[in-house]
A and B are shown apart, each in its own frame.
With several copies, the nearest count.
Chain A
Amino acid sequence: MENCIDIQISDKPLSEQTCLEFVAHPGAGGIVNFIGTVRNQTQGKAVIKLEFEAYISMAISEMRKIAELASQKWPIQKMAIHHRVGTLAVGEIAVIISVACPHRKAAFEACSFAIDTLKETVPIWKKEFFENGAVWIAAHP
């Protein structure tokens, strides 16, 4: 799987096209992409902007683990996980996960597993900025 996994963390805008081109595979029957974008509100409070901070070396390592674990569970041909860091405006892309499999069911399951796991294990932190303050998401109960 080594050359079939593309893991990136970038402070530049992410490109869905780049992910799609990476996962293109002549034997692929289904490609599923998850694209996480910055929402304009959280629990009714208007979000102005958002900042992502990453412990980059470990985040890359954890993202790779997710892709490798997914590749053990499902017949994945190609997989890309790209995460943005820095300051993002509403509507910008925070994360893209693209999975190519011979059949679509596996691609849906693997992509869903990957984003669920990423949110649990990858050392990246999101700070949301509101009119009157900012909050590190998920930090407190």
Chain B
Amino acid sequence: MMKVLTFGIAKDIVGGPEMDIPYSEGMSVLALKKAVLEKYPQFEKLNSLAIAVNNEYADDNLQITPQDEVVLIPPVSGG
């Protein structure tokens, strides 16, 4: 399992500041997104859902390693 951090509405949907997702070696960001959507279909209703890996927006094809800090980024609304 890997830990995925949540903020904003993602924290409300998940019911806490993090969630666990089954991890498989070489897992891509796209695969992670699919796993998140499967567990919490409410994410489908958001305007967007990005993934940050180690403080950077991650492309769908980036491979996640177990040491990475992985964060769900729902639509931002700062400023």
Contacts and interface: CB of A to CB of B under 8 A. Distances in A.
A118 B48 CA distance: 16
Contacts of A95: 78-79
Interface size class of B (residues with CB under 8 A): 20 to 34
B73 interface: yes
A127 interface: yes
Contacts of B2: none
B75 A139 contact: yes
Contact of A118 (B45, B73, B79): B79
B56 A140 contact: no
B55 A125 contact: no
A36 B79 CA distance: 6
Given A53-B8, A55-B5, A141-B47, A136 B55 contact: no
Nearest to B6: A55
A91 B4 CA distance: 35
Given A124-B76, A125-B76, A125-B78, A139 B46 contact: yes
B52 interface: yes
A115 B78 CA distance: 9
Interface in B5-60: 5, 7-9, 11-12, 45-47, 52, 55-57
20 contacts: A36-B79, A53-B11, A54-B78, A57-B55, A58-B55, A58-B56, A61-B56, A94-B78, A118-B79, A119-B77, A122-B76, A123-B7, A124-B76, A124-B79, A125-B7, A125-B77, A126-B77, A127-B8, A136-B8, A140-B45
Contact of A138 (B11, B55, B71, B77): B77
A140 B77 CA distance: 11
A27 B70 CA distance: 38
A58 B57 CA distance: 9
Nearest to A141: B47
Contacts of A139: 8-9, 46-47, 74-75, 77
B67 to A, nearest CB: 16
Nearest to A59: B78
A21 interface: no
